[in-house]
Structure 1
């Protein structure tokens, strides 16, 4: 049975992706701070492993990875998904502590998890595995007022490229999925902000989060000899090409 560890699994893209992996028969490690939501997700799924923890807590994440590998036998895939948007606005209206909070979760947290996954995949037998980082369309083109989020997601693209290069000798593949406007709590919050600023504004086009989740499972299911380096999956009519 293949194994996957998913961070940010209690809601949004992480939760939807966990459901898809469980339906496909994978052993799934569920990582997030909200243990009660993870337990609810894991109900009636014998292959689900609840691993509550904050991705920015390096010591706890080390325990989480060791516990999951101990139960699953190996780590085939990490879906490095946990992240947040943060406070929106022009840079001079963003408090330094709000910027640092986004960097802590979106960069430091993803670095911690990628580092642990890489270490386990390098040491296990047979060697290798796959790391899938959740980027964003903002890793390429920003939306207005997203300086903290966009900065963090550009950093993740650098992380993805470096892991792909450094993982080659150890059969560790790394890819990035850039998702645009899947119907999640984050996108609903962005739409609420748009309406608050202008009640007559047209809401952003969205897509079913299941479409994004199925794309992650596709990336994870590639044979070791193949890798989806970058995938963009988005609501068809959202302003991505030409925005920014």
Structure 2
């Protein structure tokens, strides 16, 4: 029986992924900091296993992963690090504490979950980690500076661990969507110019489908949407100054 443990599972991409994998017959574990929304989703998915969790709490993360995996013979086929936050705005106008919080959840949270899940992934055939990356991890995005920085870190961790953990048969990859219509993004008080120019055309369900496709892939990075795929692949062959010019135009106030 295939198992998936999802952080940030109560809404947005995490919830869409939980629903899709549940429909595909996987045993789904749900983790989120919002206990009420988490319980509602668990009930929807035939009382799926769930536990409230702050992903920056290493001890709580270790207990949660252990509890879920103990119900499945110590196995974990897939860890999906979906939890994350962002705040749009001018860098200097965002409180330093909020910048730190973004990095703690988006980076330290991924490090923590991946670290504590390792023993269970190592003991499972065809195990995999999928991290929630972003198009913002390709080139720094103005007005999303700390979020963009966090996704660069996730990208680096993904690339390093995919090589390092190959000896254990564990694949590590990230999903790289552009802006996704989720409560986290739609409730922002500041609309970054890049959002106005590119629009928010991607739904959480499309990212969930990409996560499903990634379970059968050895790719390390999975860019999502035709728009970003063109930018991603052109960025592999064109000079960096061209990407910089494009980003400068998209982000012009």
Give the TM interval when normalised to the shorter protein.
Answer: 0.7 to 0.9
> What is aligned with 2:213?
218
- In structure 1, list runs of 5 or more residues that go unmatched: none
- Name which of structure 1's ranges 140-149 and 38-47 shifts more when overlaid on structure 2: 38-47
> What is aligned with 1:113?
113
> What is aligned with 2:225?
234
1:80·1:134 contact (CA, 8 Å) conserved in 2? Answer: yes
> What is aligned with 1:12?
12
Decide whether aligned partners of structure 1 residues 240 and 97 sit closer, same or farther in structure 2, where only a CA change above 3 A counts.
Answer: farther
> What is aligned with 1:207?
202
Note the aligned Cα RMSD (angstroms): 2.4
CA distance in 2, matches of 1:84, 1:202: 22
> What is aligned with 1:71?
71
TM-score (norm 1): 0.87
> What is aligned with 1:193?
190
Deviation, structure 1 residue 48: 1.8
1:38 equivalent to 2:35? Answer: no
Deviation, structure 1 residue 21: 0.6
1:11-32 per-residue CA deviation (whole Å, 9 max, x = no partner) reads 1111111111111110011000
More helix by percentage: 2
Decide whether aligned partners of structure 1 residues 143 and 234 sit closer, same or farther in structure 2, where only a CA change above 3 A counts.
Answer: farther
2:136·2:148 contact (CA, 8 Å) conserved in 1? Answer: yes
Q: Classify the secondary structure of the residue corresponding to 2:45.
A: coil
> Structure 1 residue runs of 4+, over 4 Å off?
237-241
- Name which of structure 1's ranges 37-46 and 70-79 shifts more when overlaid on structure 2: 37-46
CA distance in 1, matches of 2:200, 2:231: 11
- In structure 2, list runs of 5 or more residues that go unmatched: 233-245, 249-253
1:17-75 per-residue CA deviation (whole Å, 9 max, x = no partner) reads 11111111100110001111111111243372112111011110001000010112210
Decide whether aligned partners of structure 1 residues 155 and 203 sit closer, same or farther in structure 2, where only a CA change above 3 A counts.
Answer: closer
TM-score (norm 2): 0.84
Decide whether aligned partners of structure 1 residues 145 and 80 sit closer, same or farther in structure 2, where only a CA change above 3 A counts.
Answer: same
Q: Count the aligned residue pairs.
A: 232
